[in-house]
Amino acid sequence: MDSKVLVKAMLIVTLFVAMMFAVILLVNGYGTEKNKKNELFEPKTTEDSVAEEDGRIKGSDLYAWMNDETFFDEEKIGDGKYDNSRGDELVISASSVEKDLRIRILDVDGHLVKGKLFEILLGGSASYKDEDMDGVIHISDLAPGDYEIMLAETADYIIPERPIRCTVKAKVDYKAIADISYLIKTEADIDAKKEDTAVNDAENEGESGGNATIKTVDGARFGIDVSKYQGDIDWEEVKKSDVEFAIIRCGYRGSSTGAIVVDPYFEKNMAGAEAAGIPVGVYFFTQATNNVEAVEEASAVLTLIKPYKVTYPVFIDTEGAGGKGRADNLEVIDRSFAVQTFCETIRTGGYTAGIYASKNWFNNKLDVTKLSADNVTWLAEYKDKPTYGGTYQMWQYSSSGKISGIEGRVDMNLSYLSVAN
Q: Which amino acid is at 154?
A: T
Q: Is the CATH code 3.20.20.80 the one for domain 181-415?
A: yes
CB neighbour list of residue 127: distance below 8 Å, 6 or more residues apart: 119, 120, 121, 152
Q: State whether CATH 2.60.40.10 applies to domain 89-168.
A: yes
- Taking phi over 0 as left and psi of -120 to 50 as alpha, with beta for the rest, 300 belongs to alpha
Find the mean pLDDT for residues 50-78: 40
SS3 204: helix
Q: What average pLDDT is seen over the chain?
A: 84
Residue 384 has pLDDT above 60, yes or no: yes
Whether the model pTM is above 0.95: no
Higher local confidence (pLDDT), 1 or 380: 380
Taking 80 as the threshold, does the pLDDT of residue 66 lie above it? no
Helix (H) or strand (E) holding 203: helix 201-205
| DSSP, res 207 | S
Please name every residue paired with 354 in a beta bridge, in sequence order, or none if there are none: 315, 376
* Residue 62 pLDDT > 90: no
What letter represents residue 338's amino acid?
Answer: A
pLDDT value at 39 more than 80:
no
Mean pLDDT along residues 41-63: 38
Domains 89-168 and 181-415 share a fold: no
Percent of the chain with pLDDT strictly greater than 90: 70
The stretch 168-197 carries a mean pLDDT of: 95
DSSP H or E segment with residue 195? helix 192-195
**Bridge partners (DSSP) listed for residue 101:** 139
* For the chain, domain boundaries: 1-36, 43-68, 89-168, 181-415
Q: Coil, strand, or helix at residue 296?
A: helix
Q: What is the pLDDT of residue 22?
A: 57
Distances in whole angstroms, Cα of residue 53 to Cα of each of 50, 57, 59, 75? 10, 9, 13, 35
328-356: pLDDT as tens digits: 999 999 999 999 999 999 999 999 999 99
